[in-house]
Structure 1
Amino acid sequence: MEQRRNLYFYYHPSEELEQQLMPLYDIARESGFEIVHHSSDANIIIAIGGDGTFLQAVRKTGFRDDVLYTGITTSEEQSGLYCDFNLDQFDEMIDSMQHAPLEVRRFPTIEMNVNHESSFLCLNEMSLRSSLIKTIAMDVYIDDTYFETFRGDGLIVSTPTGSTGYNKSSRGAVVDPKLPCFQVTELASLNSNRYRTLGSSFILGGERELTLKIIQDGNDYPIIGADNEALPVRNVETVHVRLAETRIKTVKLKDNSYWDRVKRTFL
């Protein structure tokens, strides 16, 4: 950690949190770290507020692959699949970053391209859902091969780390982040004599590309989610999804693997 000394804190400002952070800044400075006010000057970005804040921190700071991201929860009740520490353990975090054996964990991201025009990165998942009180229909292609016509509430495409979120709540599988892949999960698909889909989630390898062609039946303004944000995209015709080259680096502490976190969160 000798080369990484510039800390940037990302959080949702509040008077209470500001007061909690003041002594933490002092601890960081006394330990030889510098607090910077712009994320572009940082080589360690600390998100305070749980997994949702961590996702926003990564997005708002541009999915940088040249920094270490670290997550800190503000209470024991907050989920922490991306967070190694609680706010009360900040001095322990600083000590660990200076002295404990650390590994860098690299989380995969997916890239979504809409209408061959706008591209977006996602650390957790992208979702495409109907904005109307009716089903949405789309032709699904794997690489350039037609796979199925989906009709239902929508689809989720998740990364391995994102598989524990929206995907899991929709009965998708939890995937090891060491696997270079992404997962496609249905939301309330219609399966009848007229409509037929696979009816289960499926996992695509890192070299695959998924193409969703929206059937233009009045539902050409679907809700497109990128992690925990909705994208204001109109007249959606095609969405291409693939595994991105960008990897988000986080600190991995000893005896705190991804599966340790899954066990701690769900079991």
Structure 2
Amino acid sequence: MTLKVAIVANQEPQTLRVLNQLYHLLAEANIPIDQDQPNLVISVGGDGTLLSAFHRYSEHLEEVLFMGVHTGHLGFYTDWRDYEIEEMVQKLRDETLTSTSYPLLEVRITYTDGQPERRFLALNESTIKRGNTTMVADVYIRDELFERFRGDGLSVSTPTGSTAYNKSVGGAVIHPSINAMQLAEIASLNNRLFRTLGSSLVIAADDWLKIALQPSGDYFVTVDQLDIPQDQMAAVHYRVAKERIRFVSNRHMHFWHRVQDAFIGDIEKS
């Protein structure tokens, strides 16, 4: 297979310096750049840049692998540092690429006015919120009513996304070998009148969620870093997607190593 590379990068000064070196090294290695039909997408920046790369090529997940170069302060999805570009390109030139895959989240939005549903894929998570007003929504699991939620919103995450917004609202960290999704509450109301489970829920791959919404025009749905204001929404449906994202695994960091490095750091120095 002839390797064809696409590059997605942010505009930070350090990233631009790395890009110049990367383009030069790829040319020396006779590895062509093809932004339209790549089989390898290299993200240069941080996790936000990797998410942008994923959404740009999300319709071609069967054809492309992803790898990330880290030029910022924290890169959960990135395996290479900015000072390792030469070694990275050498491996691309000399080694057969192997891959590891992670689960994704399917997000479907249905409407009250008959307009066609919209479908998205998320690598990290999707949230539902409602302006400055308490959100009221019925949570269904496999079409059975589980609870009536009242609060700021709901977050549904993938296993890799469990370390992102989900973690900040009290959800559990889930290893990506577990093919599941997680529902976490965002500032739920719990008192004598209103009750929710209060804990995050881990939902199996053969189950699905429906978040049925009260009529309103001020809902916001996010899919990773994308903000999607919606009107006339009836419900948001979630399940583990049939598609998966594949990362180059020739030098893929162990998940728990990533978690330890991102959130705990050097134990001996703490």
Structure 2 matches for 1:79-90, cutoff 5 A? Answer: 79-90=74-85
Q: By how many angstroms is 1:99 displaced?
A: 4.3
For 1:186 and 1:28, locate their aligned partners in 2 and report how far apart those are by CA, in whole Å.
45
Tell me, yes or no, if structure 1 residue 247 matches structure 2 residue 244.
Answer: yes
> Which residue is equivalent to 1:31?
29
For the aligned residue pairs, the C-alpha RMSD in angstroms reads: 1.8
Q: Any residues of structure 2 matched to 1:134-213 within 5 Å, and which? A: 134-213=133-212
Identity of aligned residues (%): 34
CA, structure 1 residues 108+63, in 2 after alignment: closer, same or farther (shift >3 Å)? farther
Secondary structure at the residue paired with 1:153? strand
> Is contact 1:71–1:83 with CA below 8 Å preserved after alignment?
yes
SS in 2 for 1:42: coil
Distance 1:106 1:255, change over 3 A: closer
> Which whole-Å CA distance do the structure 1 matches of 2:263 and 2:143 have between them?
38
Separation in 2, partners of 1:259, 1:16: 28
Determine if contact 1:7/1:35 at 8 Å carries over to the other structure: yes
* Alpha-carbon contact 1:81-1:258 (below 8 Å) kept: no
Aligned equivalents of 2:81, 2:157: Cα separation in 1:
26
Aligned partner (choices 81, 87, 91) of residue 92 of structure 1: 87
State the distance in 2 between where 1:241 and 1:93 align: 37
Structure 1 residues 184-220: Cα deviation after superposition (integer angstroms, max 9, x where no partner): 000000011111100010100001110000123xx44
Structure 1 residues 14 and 61, CA, compared in 2 at 3 Å: closer, same or farther?
same
In the alignment, residue 192 of structure 1 is paired with which amino acid? N
CA contact (8 A) 1:64 1:248 kept: no
Q: 1:50 aligns with which of 46, 50, 73?
A: 46
Report the alpha carbon displacement of residue 95 of structure 1 after superposing the two structures with TM. Answer: 2.4
How much does 1:4 deviate? 4.7
Shift of 1:82: 0.7
Report what 2:122 is aligned to. Answer: 122
Distance in 2 of aligned mates of 1:93 and 1:50 = 17
Once the two structures are superposed, residues 146-182 of structure 1 have per-residue CA deviations (whole angstroms, 9 ceiling, x without a partner) of 1000000000000000000000011100001011100
Instruction: Give the C-alpha shift of residue 29 in structure 1.
Output: 1.9
The amino acid that maps onto 2:55 is: R
Aligned to 2:226: 229
The more displaced of 61-70 and 148-157 is 61-70
Q: Does 1:6 align with 2:1?
A: no
2:211 is paired with a residue whose SS is strand
Whichever residue aligns with residue 143 of structure 2, its letter is D
Amino acid at match of 2:166: N
1:16–1:147 distance in 2 versus 1, CA, 3 Å: closer
What is the number of residues matched between the two proteins? 258
Q: What TM-score do the two structures reach when normalised by structure 1?
A: 0.91
Q: 2-side partners of 1:103 and 1:24: how far apart?
A: 21
- CA–CA separation in structure 2 for the residues paired with 1:234 and 1:169: 28
Q: Name which of 243, 257, 263 aligns with 2:254.
A: 257
Work out the CA distance in 2 between the residues paired with 1:24 and 1:205. Answer: 41
CA distance, structure 2, for counterparts of residue 93 and residue 64 of structure 1: 23
User: 2: distance between equivalents of 1:198 and 1:14?
Assistant: 43
Residues 89 and 162 of structure 1: CA distance in aligned 2, closer, same or farther (over 3 Å): same
Query: Which residue type is aligned with residue 24 of structure 1?
Result: L
- Unaligned runs of 5+ residues in structure 2 are 112-116, 265-270
TM-score normalised over the length of structure 2? 0.90
Structure-2 residue corresponding to 1:62: 58
**Which structure 1 residue ranges, 5 or more long, are not aligned?**
none
Distance 1:176 1:85 in 2: 21
What secondary structure sits across from 2:230 in the alignment? coil
* 8 A contact 1:6–1:34 mirrored in 2: yes
